[in-house]
Structure 1
Amino acid sequence: MAKELRSGYTTGACAAAGVKAAFLFMAGVDWREISLTALDGTLLTIPVKEVRETADGICAEVVKFSGDDPDITNGVSVFTTIQRRDEPGIVFRAGKGVGTVTKRGMSLPVGEPSINKGPRTLIRSVIEEMTGRPDSGAVVTISIPEGVELAKKTLNPVLGIEGGISVIGTTGVLRPMSEEAFKDSLVPQIDVALAAQEPVLVFVPGKIGEKIALSLGVPQTALIETSNFIGFMLDRAAERGAARILILGHTGKLVKMAAGVFHTHNRIADARLETLAAYAAAEGLPQDGVRAVLAANTTEDAMEIIASAGLMERVCSVIAERVHVRAERYVFGKVEVGALMVNFAGDILGADERAYGFARAYGWRLEQ
């Protein structure tokens, strides 16, 4: 019998648990074990190692537990210090080992601590829960001292996140990522969607794509989360007789697929900038623009260069069409595949004619 893999909790959930522990400490209530509701509704129980009063506020230490996920932050201490303030709103600060954004193209502005949206939302929710007020004022400083060294094992230095690692987590729950087990756990989504007689399966790499798909009118039952395993999931869908698939994802994922890369983890293959540069050059981007794309920090940054040359729509449409061609070739023509490319804000950047056809047939809010 296969071992059931254990889930853990993210660095963001550790920080949120630390915030709650700090409030309980201030109230004179037991803080040693925190119940926390993750953003997807999962109830987490997180032990707290220590809470103490410092010159900068109340500081809580939580030790990261990654379950059976091979996460480099497993076992590290996450320190969260909270200081109340009279002005409304939560101010986030990066302590030792938490990076700061220094380049454009990330989901946070330059100068901001690299504390992602999920953890910020979770922490705000905890503060509202503990104070009973949506407009409470506080300064929240997150420190992960080991992050200084751990960051060297990540892409953060390349992405311009300096000083440490990022505080991440879409929901707060860390699902095990043992590859074969994780891939197999994704497949039942296909069976459920086909059983619901969904005419089009909509493949999304993660939560961002899911949110955007729902905003376009795609039914929840049609959504299939693929993570990085697009090719694997295309094969499994074809085996099960799926007739139509829409691949909906961020530029970074679709650019890889346009180059024929269907396992999209960056350690498997990463030629995003090279692919973008090639397609942009084919559409008329001057040589200095091509060099700028190749030197860009992220695909978002590269797309700004392409947009400034007036080529955004053309390049994105060509890439979406190429994804359609490569994906149908990947499954030997057994499935009709459309492609829809979006940015982090949910704007539609490009779509192939197949995607527009699906939208017209099933009432999705796409405009050509």
Structure 2
Amino acid sequence: MTAAAVGALRVLVQGGGVGSFPVAVFLPCGIYFPVSVTPAHLDLSLGLAVAEVKKDGGDDPDVTHGAIFSVELKLFPRRTNSAGVYLKAGSGVGVVTRDGLPVRIGEPAVNPVPRQMLRDNIESFFLGLDAARLGMLADLSGKNGEVFENGVFIPFSRLSFLPFSLSVTVSVPGGEVLARRTLNPRLGIEGGLSILGTTGLVIPYSHEAYRETIEASLKFARTNGLDVTVLSTGGKSEKFARKHLPELPDAAFVQIADFYQFSLKKAEELGFSGVIHSVFFGKLMKMAMGFGYTHAHFSSLDFDEFLRKFGRRLAEPLACQIASANTARQVLDILKENGRKDIIEWIAHRALEHSRAFAPKIKSLGLILFDYDGSVLLRRVE
């Protein structure tokens, strides 16, 4: 978004241009990051330019990877005590419709840090212009008489005295469809995608982005009066949990992936009185072994270690079968075939003990363990 906006400004100043060009975006962490921008439209008679950026998610598993972020930028005479940016949601960008997010109802679903980046980089661009070019932009601004609605005004911090402001309308073609694959509908963001971020950088494997999403979802649930949350490890376990907890609203269900400890601590910090884990056996084993982060790369299951913890409850033939197992699913099959539900219950108990250690202030901790076909193996509350 920021790169496209600065690129559109450059097109206005230059009066056009051919082909893509790089824009150096200044990030909150204090570095510049190059982004390729493509001019899409220019109308000097209206003080208007459009530029586009193609999202490159790198290793980040983001539904917006490859999407086009388009910015329509217009200049107009300053109408308030301070010059600034009017930010608007165009096609494919969502608008906030419910409380609980860091953006007010009715505003474009663009988080505070991307807004700050937009303002700061536009100001820096203006500060690099000489008086003649600033005067040219002021002349262009007089050609636009549009009335701006359904947006948010971001005042400049260093250039409040400029005689002109600008509007930035952000669009993402196809964003309405992409948004269905995100949490936006659940969080009350309607009409398209949201623009998130706290650093401006893509974090590999979305660790930071996923933690932000978990925190935003939990805050949203609390703001909307919920006292109990269901922490599922993914879409399938959430789907199964919804069938068995129909009394809970959508906002109660939060997908936490591998962020077991982080999610519990955040739920405790936000004041939830109850947490229900919705899991399959593999994640349950890792929880029972005390792994705060359950990704396979960092918490691979060592069945020998598992047996050291739980083997005293197993007869030697059964212990040997488990020691030779290749997967947690195979361990579960062995336990079921031998009628050892008591071991499964003991593992669940140990998992909840670790949950209690991670978040001692949460009053009620529960767990639903699903078999791989969606049937409930056990439900437990401690």
TM-score band w.r.t. shorter chain: 0.3 to 0.5
Q: Find the structure with the greater CA-based Rg.
A: 2
TM-score (norm 2): 0.45
TM-score (norm 1): 0.47
